[in-house]
Chain A
Amino acid sequence: MNRALEIAFVVFLASVPFWLGNLYYLHILVTTGIFIIAAMSLNLLLGYTGQLSLGHVAFFGIGAYTSALVSLGFDLSITENYTFVLEPKPVWFAFLCGIVLAAICGWLIGRISFKVRGAYFVIVTISFAEVVRLVALNWIDLTEGPMALNNIPPFTFSIPGLWELTFYKKEPNYWLVLALCVVSFVIIRRLVNSRAGRAMIALRENEPLATSVGVDVTKYLVLATIVSAGMAGAAGGLYTHYVRIVDPDVFLFIYTVTMVIMVITGGKGTLAGPIVGGLIFGILPEVLREFAAPEVQWMIYGVLMILIVYFLPAGIIPALSQWWQRRSQSHEQVTQGAAE
Chain B
Amino acid sequence: MSSKTAKQDKALVVDSLAMRFGGLLAIKSMTFHVNEGEVLGLIGPNGAGKTTAFNAITGYLRPSEGSISYRGSSLVGLKPNEIADLGVVRTFQKTSVFGGQSAFDNVLMGLHRRQKQNALEIIFALPSVAAEERRMRDKAHEILDFVGLDGRAGELGSALPYGEQRLLEVAVALAAQPSLLLLDEPVSGMNPSETSSFMNIMGEIRKLGITVLLVEHDMRMVMGVSDRVIVLNHGSIIADGSPSQIQKNPEVIRAYLGDRYDKAKSGSKGKKRAQG
Contacts of B80 in A (CB 8 A): 208, 211-212
Fill in one digit per residue for A212-228: 1 if any B CB lies within 8 Å of its CB, else 0.
11111100000100010
Q: Is B8 an interface residue (CB 8 A)?
A: no
Contacts of A198 in B (CB 8 A): 105, 108-109, 112
Known: A198-B108, A198-B109, A199-B112. A212 touches B84 (CB 8 A): yes
Contacts of A216 in B (CB 8 A): 79, 81
Contacts of A215 in B (CB 8 A): 81, 109, 112
Chain A, Cβ-Cβ closest to B123: A187
- Stretch of A20-28, A66-74, A189-197, A260-268 on the interface side: A189-197
Instruction: With both chains docked as a complex, state the minimum distance between the C-beta of A168 and any C-beta of chain B, in angstroms.
Output: 32
- CB of A214 within 8 A of CB of B85, answer yes
Instruction: With both chains docked as a complex, state the minimum distance between the C-beta of B5 and any C-beta of chain A, in angstroms.
Output: 22
Determine the main DSSP class of A at the interface with B. Answer: helix
**Chain B interface size range:** 35 or more
Partner of A213 from the list B79, B99, B110 (CB cut-off 8 Å) is B110
- CB of B112 within 8 A of CB of A213, answer yes
Contacts of B176 in A (CB 8 A): 212-214
Once A and B bind, how many residue pairs between them come within 8 Å at the CB atom?
89
Instruction: With both chains docked as a complex, state the minimum distance between the C-beta of A195 and any C-beta of chain B, in angstroms.
Output: 4
- CB of A191 within 8 A of CB of B119, answer yes
- CB of A194 within 8 A of CB of B117, answer yes
Chain B, Cβ-Cβ closest to A199: B112
Known: A195-B115, A209-B172. A190 touches B123 (CB 8 A): yes
- CB of A195 within 8 A of CB of B112, answer yes
Question: 29 A-B contacts, Cβ less than 8 Å apart?
Answer: A194-B117, A194-B129, A194-B133, A195-B115, A195-B117, A196-B117, A196-B118, A196-B119, A196-B122, A198-B109, A202-B109, A202-B112, A205-B98, A205-B99, A209-B97, A209-B98, A209-B172, A210-B98, A212-B58, A212-B80, A212-B89, A212-B90, A212-B91, A213-B89, A213-B109, A213-B175, A213-B176, A215-B81, A216-B79
Query: Which residues on A are within 8 Å of B, measured CB to CB?
Result: 187, 190-191, 194-196, 198-199, 201-202, 205-206, 208-217, 223, 227
- Report the 6 A-B pairs with minimum CB-CB distance, sorted nearest first: A214-B84, A213-B176, A211-B80, A214-B113, A205-B98, A194-B122
Taking A194-B122, A199-B112, A211-B79 as known contacts, 9 extra A-B pairs with beta carbons closer than 8 A to each other, sorted by chain A number, are: A191-B122, A194-B129, A201-B101, A206-B99, A209-B96, A212-B58, A212-B80, A212-B173, A217-B81
